[in-house]
Amino acid sequence: MRILQLHCDSIEYTPTKKEIKSAEDIENPQTQRLEELVVVFVAIEDGDDSSVAQNAITQIKNSMEKIGCKKLLLYPYAHLSSNLAKPSTAMSLLKEMESGASELEVSHSPFGWTKSYKLQVKGHPLAESSKVVTKDSESKDTEITSDALKGESTIRSYWKILSPDGTLTNIGDFDFSNHKKLEILAKYESAKSRAVDQPPPHVALMKKLGIADYEPASDSGNMRFFPNGRLIKSLIERYVTDRVKEYGGYEVETPIMYDSEHPSMVSYFNRFPARQYNIDSEGKKLFLRFAACFGQFLMANHFQLSYKNLPYKLYELTRYSFRREQSGELVGLRRLRAFTMPDCHAFCKDIPQAVDEIKVRFDLSQSVLRELGIEESDYEMAIRFTEDFYNGNKSSIEELVKKHGRPVLVEMWKEKFFYFVLKWEFNFIDNLGKASALSTDQIDVENGDRYGIEFIDENNSAQHPIILHNSPSGAIERIIYALLEKAAKDSKEGRKAQLPLWLAPTQIRIIPLNEEFYDFCEKLTDRLSANNIRVDIDDRNGSIGKRIRDAEKEWIQYILVIGEKEANSENLSVRDRQTGNVKEISFDDFLTEINNQTKEKPFTGLNMPKHLSKRPQLMV
Partner RNA sequence: GCCAAUGUAGCUCAGCCUGGUUAGAGCAACUGAUUUGUAAUCAGUAGGUCGUGGGUUCGGAUCCCGUCAUUGGCUCCA
Give residues 192-211 in contact with RNA (rule: CB under 7 A): 192-200, 203, 207
Cβ neighbour number for residue 167 with a 10 Å cutoff:
12
**3-state secondary structure string, 202-249?**
HHHHHHHCCCEEECCCCCCCCEEECHHHHHHHHHHHHHHHHHHHHHCC
The residue range among 312-320, 362-370, 575-583, 593-601 that interacts with RNA, by the rule CB under 7 A, is: 575-583
How is the beta sheet containing 508-512 ordered, strand by strand? 535-537, 508-512, 558-562, 572-576, 582-585
Regarding 263 and contact with RNA (CB under 7 A), the answer is no
Regarding 229 and contact with RNA (CB under 7 A), the answer is no
Looking only at the bridges linking them, the beta strands covering 572-576 and 462-463 are unpaired
Regarding 575 and contact with RNA (CB under 7 A), the answer is yes
Regarding 312 and contact with RNA (CB under 7 A), the answer is no
Cβ of residue 384: shortest distance to RNA, in angstroms?
Answer: 8
> How many residues sit in the footprint of RNA (CB under 7 A)?
79
What CA–CA distance (Å, rounded) separates 489 from 201?
Answer: 9
Query: Which position among 147, 350, 388, 519 is part of the footprint of RNA (CB under 7 A)?
Result: 147
C-alpha dihedral (522, 524, 525, 526), degrees to nearest 10: 90
Residues from 546 through 565 that contact RNA (CB under 7 A): 546, 548-549, 552-553, 559, 561, 563-565
Regarding 151 and contact with RNA (CB under 7 A), the answer is no
What CA–CA distance (Å, rounded) separates 54 from 50?
Answer: 6
Question: Binding mask 459-498 vs RNA (x if CB under 7 A, - otherwise)?
Answer: -------------------------------------x--
Query: Which position among 275, 308, 492, 527 is part of the footprint of RNA (CB under 7 A)?
Result: 275
Between 125 and 283, CB nearer to RNA: 125
The residue range among 213-221, 241-249, 251-259, 478-486 that interacts with RNA, by the rule CB under 7 A, is: 213-221
Residues from 520 through 549 that contact RNA (CB under 7 A): 540-546, 548-549
Between 252 and 432, CB nearer to RNA: 432
Cβ of residue 580: shortest distance to RNA, in angstroms?
Answer: 6
Between 93 and 186, CB nearer to RNA: 186
Between 404 and 575, CB nearer to RNA: 575
Residues from 56 through 95 that contact RNA (CB under 7 A): 66
**Maximum Cα interatomic distance, the chain, rounded to a whole number of Å:** 109
Q: Is residue 374 a contact partner of residue 131, using CB atoms and an 8 Å limit?
A: no
Cβ of residue 100: shortest distance to RNA, in angstroms?
Answer: 23
Cβ neighbour number for residue 155 with a 10 Å cutoff:
17
DSSP-based three-state secondary structure for 193: coil
The pair phi, psi for residue 541, each rounded to 5°, is -85, 105
Query: Which position among 121, 256, 456, 582 is part of the footprint of RNA (CB under 7 A)?
Result: 582
Q: Is residue 3 a contact partner of residue 18, using CB atoms and an 8 Å limit?
A: no
Regarding 580 and contact with RNA (CB under 7 A), the answer is yes
What CA–CA distance (Å, rounded) separates 59 from 41?
Answer: 14
